[in-house]
């Protein structure tokens, strides 16, 4: 039975994330969004608050918290700005949790510990210029040569690409299977930014998430030690799908923070703005839009909490996480559009934050699986055309 009450530990984590959001992010976010730069104090603040080690056991330098705590922190950070939640998504959901689950003990000691402590920043490299949702369409290769792999290729639209120290990168190790689009030829590697042949660049001119770093990673004859292969050759596709389960979870929870930010902004504005002699909070259609934000927030929250509960029990959560991501992102996009509408002409300017919410909300319906792919996934589950099979690795148990 799912319990929707929060423990003292979960509330403490939520409050820590809220404090960082309200003190470090919100006061200057408009300035950094306009400048399209990262707040340089954000990473140190997250590390100092131990917010970069969610769900990672204390023996590996983590906070030792559960998945509901991770969801609550994701919501609080996105309430401030999507760029802050993205850090949790890629650093924890797409790197640390997969390394905890799939990597060797040696790899955990070398890469997971500094990541969980916030001493190093990590990210995930799957998407390429011509391959997003179509994961087997990637072109990066890693050819075995003695005790190392020679990696060549390019990753695109990678969050934290230009600031991360470590990348969980995916490449074809079986070129015959690459020709056949057989996903069992894909493998996963931990790559360090400082290695020869690794270069990164920042993408400018994004519609949203401007206060966060998004970029590309190029691998040119990079010599990757064989011991940096994660799990085994051919396991890359399964690992990537596992990664996306965790990343999508944080996106779903974070989107609820954006919905709440839209609702709060509209409540505040509707009590201040007057038309036709009354505050606009008296207008029924304004009330309807705010009511829809409230409803969207509530049921989207229940969806990500269900997924978090499953994760806490080490149960498969692909279906629940996909549904939570799809619905929460849809509701966030709708809430942001209506928030601009409530603010009228002022919503069309950056004088109010809803303009930023509107731009940020669009990205979530694209990354971590487009809304279209999640729509098809849910249809296939309902039609019996899709089912979750056991993984080679179970999600590690967490403290609750």
Which residues are part of the catalytic machinery?
368
- Structure-derived torsion over alpha carbons of residues 203, 204, 207, 210, reported in degrees to the nearest 10: 90
Q: How are beta strands 274-275 and 278-279 bridged, if at all?
A: antiparallel
Using DSSP, state whether 349 is helix, strand or coil.
coil
The number of C-alpha atoms within 13 Å of 7 and in the hemisphere containing its C-beta is 10
Residue 46: is it exposed, middle or buried by C-beta count within 10 angstroms (0-12/13-18/19+)? Answer: buried
- Separation CA 168–CA 124 (nearest Å): 5
Using DSSP, state whether 223 is helix, strand or coil.
strand
Q: How are beta strands 122-125 and 141-145 bridged, if at all?
A: unpaired
- Separation CA 288–CA 98 (nearest Å): 42
Strand locations in the chain (E) = 122-125, 141-145, 148-159, 166-172, 186-192, 198-202, 214-225, 274-275, 278-279
Cα→Cα distances 216→12, 149, 184, 203, Å? 36, 21, 25, 7
φ/ψ region of 61 (left if φ > 0, alpha if ψ in -120 to 50, else beta) reads left
Residue with tokens 């309200």: 22
């Amino acid at each position: 039975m799912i319990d929707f009450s929060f423990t003292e530990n979960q509330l403490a984590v939520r409050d820590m994330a809220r404090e960082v959001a309200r003190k470090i992010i919100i006061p200057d976010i408009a300035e950094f969004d306009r400048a399209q730069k990262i707040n340089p104090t954000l990473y140190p603040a997250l590390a100092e608050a131990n917010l970069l080690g969610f769900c990672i056991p204390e023996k590996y330098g983590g906070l030792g918290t559960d998945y509901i705590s991770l969801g609550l922190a994701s919501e609080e950070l996105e309430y401030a700005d999507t760029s802050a939640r993205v850090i949790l998504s890629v650093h924890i959901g797409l790197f640390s949790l997969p390394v905890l689950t799939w990597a060797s003990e040696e790899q955990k000691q070398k890469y997971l510990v500094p990541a969980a402590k916030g001493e190093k920043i990590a990210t995930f490299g799957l998407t390429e210029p011509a391959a997003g949702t179509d994961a087997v369409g990637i072109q990066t290769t890693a050819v075995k040569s003695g005790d190392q792999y020679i990696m060549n290729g390019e990753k695109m639209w990678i969050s934290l690409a230009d600031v991360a120290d470590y990348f969980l990168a995916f490449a074809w190790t079986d070129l015959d299977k690459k020709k056949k689009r057989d996903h069992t030829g894909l493998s996963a590697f931990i790559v360090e930014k400082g290695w020869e042949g690794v270069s990164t660049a920042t993408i400018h001119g994004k519609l949203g998430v401007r206060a966060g770093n998004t970029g590309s990673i190029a691998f040119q004859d990079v010599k990757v030690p064989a011991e940096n292969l994660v799990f085994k050759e051919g396991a890359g596709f399964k690992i990537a799908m596992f990664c996306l389960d965790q990343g999508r979870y944080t996106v779903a929870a974070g989107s609820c923070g954006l919905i709440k930010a839209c609702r709060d902004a509209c409540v505040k504005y509707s009590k201040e703005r007057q038309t036709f002699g009354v505050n606009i909070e008296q207008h029924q259609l304004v009330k309807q839009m705010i009511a829809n934000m409230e409803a969207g927030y509530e049921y989207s929250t229940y969806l990500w909490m269900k997924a978090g509960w499953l994760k806490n029990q080490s149960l498969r959560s692909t279906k629940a996480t996909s549904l939570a991501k799809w619905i929460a992102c849809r509701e966030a996009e709708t809430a942001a559009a209506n928030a601009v509408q409530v603010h009228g002409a002022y919503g069309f300017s950056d004088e109010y934050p809803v303009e930023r919410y509107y731009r940020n909300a669009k990205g979530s319906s694209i990354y971590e699986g487009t809304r279209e792919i999640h729509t098809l996934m849910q249809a296939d589950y309902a039609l019996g055309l899709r089912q979750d099979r056991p993984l080679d690795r179970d999600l590690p148990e967490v403290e609750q």
